[in-house]
Amino acid sequence: MTSQISCHFPKGFLWGTATSAHQTEGNNLNDWSIWEPGKTVDGSVSGIACDSYHHFREDIGLAKKLNNNAYRFSIEWSRIEPRQGQFNTKALRHYQAVINECLKQKIEPVVTIHHFTHPLWFSAIGGWENQAAPQIFNNYVLYLAQNITGVKIWCTINEPMLYAWNAYGRGKWPPQKKNLGTWQQVLNNLIKAHCLAYQTLHLINKKCLVGIANNSQYFKPINNNWLNKEINKIAKYIINDYFFKKTAGYEDYIGINYYFYKLIGLGRRPPDNLLRNDLGWPINPYGLYDVLISAKKYNLPIYILENGIADSQDKYRANFIIEHLKMVYQAIQNGCNIKGYFYWSLLDNFEWDKGFVPRFGLYTVDYPSLKRKPRPSSKIYATICKNNGL
Ligand code: GAL
């Protein structure tokens, strides 16, 4: 097998899978769990989800079976700080146990501090609209920094641009506001929150790596019309670069989540022959290359913190992974300092406003029994991870 490898990845490359707390843990009480009834596309609520809160050892074992040497998961703020300023030591011990289990299995824990959800008290005081939000978030970060051990790589905020847009710009996610002024205010507070968190985490541990995960998209103008090209540039700047530019000096790495390819501009959309995932999203591996090459300008290490496909029949997943990884390899050959790749997701889980129907997992979850089973594509990913290449 080894002799057939033509794309050797750098030594020490992190091969991982990713999840988030609310999507997998079950029994969370936060702004999403309150909002979900009657709001999700398939009518489901997160409920017990994958019950990963109790199955975490098994789940980390599943990552180990994939030969992963890294696992990305998130800490649920509402568990750690159920009331403002009151921290729950039982929850803290739980997340420390998750980290310890990773370390025991020689898996690097990559820990996200904010992945879309909020304690109810935070929402009640206006959430990210509140001018004090960055400082309030920082109190939670400080508590983690002072009490959690064994984490070298932190991701402060998952997809701040996408979150702010979905929750305050287009009004799709809680608190469902549609106001560009509020959106801008929330964005500013998220930027401040990240910079504060960056300083706090480094104050306690100088050597840790701190960054965010940006939902970076591959944009192409619909045609060569100059206006469309300009609109394309603006979209690219806002979605892919704005947060990084505003937090320059406060990022140790560039975290990229790649899912989307979008044709931008006015006019008729030329047809494409791209395959589509179960959610209708076109599959465009080249877009990952484009996004990576464009992130080279930051001169920082790059982690692909999410890349994955909703594919319940597992028809395209293996090929999806291979084709995207070829692009990652190409980007490395062309000078990108890429340090890791995390497939989204380790297992099927609660896909936010879409409910449980989309299936992103390398492992299926049979929700009634909570049994996890490997999909065929997981074998392919496991081999790639084992060989550090493909
Ligand atoms: C990302 C998000 C994940 C997951 C994924 C699949 O935007 O960070 O939580 O939902 O999309 O759609």
Question: Is residue 10 pLDDT above 60, yes or no?
Answer: yes
Kindly state the tokens that stand for 333.
């050959």
pLDDT value at residue 1: 46
- Chain centroid to CA 33: 19
CB 121 within 8 A of CB 84: yes
Kindly state the tokens that stand for 140.
């939670």
14-387 is classed CATH 3.20.20.80: yes
Task: Tell me how crowded residue 191 is: count the other CB atoms within 10 A of its CB.
Answer: 21
Sign of torsion, CA 42 283 15 239? Answer: negative
What lines the ligand 1 site, CB under 6 Å? 20, 23, 158-159, 162, 215, 257, 306, 344, 351-352, 360
pLDDT value at residue 2: 47
Q: How much is the mean pLDDT over the chain?
A: 98
Q: Across residues 361-386, what is the average pLDDT?
A: 98
Pocket test for ligand 1, best of 311, 351, 362 (most atoms within 8 A of CB): 351
For residue 310, which of 381, 367, 364, 358 has the smallest C-alpha distance?
358
Kindly state the tokens that stand for 112.
């996200």
Question: Is residue 135 pLDDT above 80, yes or no?
Answer: yes
Residue with tokens 């496909």: 309
Sign of torsion, CA 166 133 197 143? Answer: negative
For residue 211, which of 282, 275, 158, 142 has the smallest C-alpha distance?
158
- 298: helix, strand or coil: helix
pLDDT digits (tens, 9 = 90+) for 287-326: 999 999 999 999 999 999 999 999 999 999 999 999 999 9
Pocket test for ligand 1, best of 344, 345, 354, 360 (most atoms within 8 A of CB): 344
What is the rounded distance in angstroms from the CA atom of residue 361 to the CA atom of residue 373?
A: 10
Pocket test for ligand 1, best of 50, 159, 306 (most atoms within 8 A of CB): 306
pLDDT digits (tens, 9 = 90+) for 99-130: 999 999 999 999 999 999 999 999 999 999 99
CB 208 within 8 A of CB 152: yes
Confidence of residue 4 (pLDDT cuts 50, 70, 90): confident
| CA 158–ligand 1 middle distance (angstroms) | 9
Atom number in ligand 1 closest to CA 349: 10
pLDDT digits (tens, 9 = 90+) for 244-285: 999 999 999 999 999 999 999 999 988 899 999 999 999 999
Kindly state the tokens that stand for 110.
């990559």
| CA 128–ligand 1 middle distance (angstroms) | 20
What is the rounded distance in angstroms from the CA atom of residue 34 to the CA atom of residue 117?
A: 11
Q: Across residues 345-362, what is the average pLDDT?
A: 98
Atom number in ligand 1 closest to CA 158: 8
- 372: helix, strand or coil: strand
| CA 375–ligand 1 middle distance (angstroms) | 20
Nearest-CA residue for atom 4 of ligand 1: 351
Nearest-CA residue for atom 9 of ligand 1: 20
Kindly state the tokens that stand for 20.
């988030």
What are the structural domain ranges in the chain?
Answer: 14-387
CB 341 within 8 A of CB 385: no
| CA 379–ligand 1 middle distance (angstroms) | 23
DSSP 9: P
| CA 5–ligand 1 middle distance (angstroms) | 30
| CA 226–ligand 1 middle distance (angstroms) | 33
Q: Across residues 158-177, what is the average pLDDT?
A: 98
pTM for this structure?
Answer: 0.98
Confidence of residue 3 (pLDDT cuts 50, 70, 90): low
Q: Across residues 13-17, what is the average pLDDT?
A: 99
What is the rounded distance in angstroms from the CA atom of residue 390 to the CA atom of residue 388?
A: 7
